[in-house]
Amino acid sequence: MLGDVKLSPSPGDDATPIENLEYELRVKTVKMAYAMGKTSAECDGGDPEPGPGTTVKCTVTYRGVKVPWTVTIKGAGFLPGLVEYDAVPAMGVITREGAIRFYWGNNVTGRQVRCSDIPAVELVPLNRPTRYQCEIYPNVKESLQVTDSGPRFYPTAARGD
């Protein structure tokens, strides 16, 4: 599990709400990938302090791929420089490292596991089966999906040999 993710550079105490939002989206993207990696973020609009109901388009670059996010500002945050918001990624990001970390962390060890050729990093549709699978040999196949909170594996077929 990744736990509490800290990225550099982090925003300073005088950061604008958008700078803080960009940082939080970088953290969310790393958690979705379930693996640390170089990130940057940029939000459109130019308003450093968007008001409630404002929709902001942001892009987080993670290990070279661009992850688009749509953010709806709900209101001012608890502390100055923060906003409450809902953020939804348009695509998911998978990593070989994150998928394997998640799979091994949630399955019985000591059994033979085989995985398809999961890429180092790739954008995929959210909450849909990908072409990537892992198998606990000989009879449990699971398909990799990406949610906004990370990789997940779901049973796809069982063999009875």
Please report, in tens digits, the pLDDT of each residue of the chain (161 residues total). Answer: 566 778 887 888 888 889 999 999 999 999 999 999 999 999 997 677 788 888 999 999 999 999 999 999 998 877 877 889 999 999 999 999 999 888 877 765 666 778 889 999 999 999 999 999 988 777 788 899 999 999 998 887 544 44
Side-chain half-sphere exposure of 139, counting CA atoms within 13 A: 4
| Domain layout of the chain by residue ranges | 17-90, 94-158
How far apart are alpha carbons 77 and 81 in whole angstroms? 7
Given a contact cutoff of 8 angstroms between Cβ atoms, the answer to whether 78 and 66 are in contact is no
Q: What is the pTM of this model?
A: 0.88
The per-residue b/e assignment along 94-111, b for 16 or more CB within 10 angstroms, e otherwise, is bbbbbbbbbbeeeeeeee
What is the model's pLDDT at position 2?
66
pLDDT recorded at residue 103: 82
Contact 140, 158 (CB under 8 A): yes
Q: What is the pLDDT of residue 161?
A: 40
Is the distance from CB of 34 to CB of 99 less than 8 angstroms? yes
Q: Distances in Å between the alpha carbon of 135 and those of 26, 33, 102, 114, 160?
A: 31, 21, 14, 5, 14
